[in-house]
Amino acid sequence: MTTTIKQLSIFIENKSGTLIKVLDLFSKAKIQIIASTIADTQDYGIYRVLCSAPCEAFTILKENGINVQLTDVLAIAIENEPGKAAIAINALSEAGVNILYMYSFLWQGRGVLVMRTDKSEKAMEVIAEKDMNLLSENDFKI
């Protein structure tokens, strides 16, 4: 079954001390961060987080006045071998799917490509056709 997973997108000021405020909230709620990445401009950054309980984290962050959004992203599992990411991206590219952003990490021995695309439905079709493995939230339960 193909599906998307929930990622937290957190708007933070590009200034020292702002990330700690967010991480403390995760820590207090005992929510584990599985993967995260920061993209920044001179003024602000977007901190993107995959975690063990995205909906709960969203509520907590929101209650604490943090600018946060739940975003649907795709998590593609690939073999942890050279060239595998290229194959996956190539398939999407040929189908005319553009990647808005992407980051990757290792999860239980496999590589995971997390991405937001401009055509989510189309991307999922391609992934199913090419027999690639799309991870669901259950795959990240700890």
Partner 1 sequence: MSNIFPNDNCPFFNEKMETMTRAEIETLQLKRLQATVRHCMNSSFYKKRFQEAGIAPEDIKSLDDLKRIPFTTKQDLRDTYPFGMASVPLRECTRLHSSSGTTGTPTVILHTQKDLEEWAAQVARNLWMVGLRPDDVFQNSSGYGMFTGGLGFQYGAERMGMLTVPAAAGNSVRQIKFITDFGTTALHAVPSYVTRLYEVMRSMDIDPRRDTKLKVLAIGAEPHSEEQRRRIEEMMGVKAYNSFGMSEMCGPGVGFECQEQNGLHFWEDYYIVEIVNPETLEPVPDGEIGELVLTSLCREAMPLLRYRTRDLTRVLGRSCPCGRNHVRLDRMRGRSDDMMVLRGVNIFPIQIEKILMTFTELASNYLITLTTDKENDNMTVEVELEELFTDDFHRLQELTKRIQRALKDEILLTPVVKLLPKGTLPVSEGKAVRVVDKRTVYQ
To the nearest whole angstrom, how small is the minimum distance from the Cβ of residue 114 to partner 1? 12
* 3, 18, 32, 104: which one binds partner 1 (CB under 8 A): 18
By CB under 8 A, the count of residues binding partner 1 is: 20
Nearest distance in Å: CB 10, partner 1: 8
Sign of CA dihedral 21, 24, 26, 28: negative
Q: Minimum distance from CB of 61 to partner 1 (Å)? A: 10
From the centroid of its chain, how far is CA 102? 8
State in angstroms the smallest separation of the CB of 83 from partner 1: 29
CB of 136 to partner 1, least distance (A): 20
Q: Give residue 92's identity as a one-letter amino acid code.
A: L
The set of residues, in sequence order, having a beta carbon less than 8 Å from that of 129 and lying 6+ positions away, is: none
Exposed e or buried b per residue across 97-133, where buried means at least 16 C-beta atoms within 10 angstroms of its C-beta:
beeeebbbeebeeebbbbbbbeeeeebbebbeeeebe
- Distance, in Å, from the CA atom of 103 to the CA atom of 105, rounded to the nearest integer, reads 7
- The footprint of partner 1 on residues 51-90 (CB under 8 A) is 65-69, 71
Options 100, 121, 129, 136; binder of partner 1; rule CB under 8 A: 100
Contacting range for partner 1; rule: CB under 8 A; set: 25-33, 39-47, 102-110, 130-138:
39-47
How many residues comprise the chain?
A: 142
Enumerate binding residues for partner 1 (CB under 8 A).
9-13, 18, 39, 41, 43-44, 46, 48, 65-69, 71, 100, 116
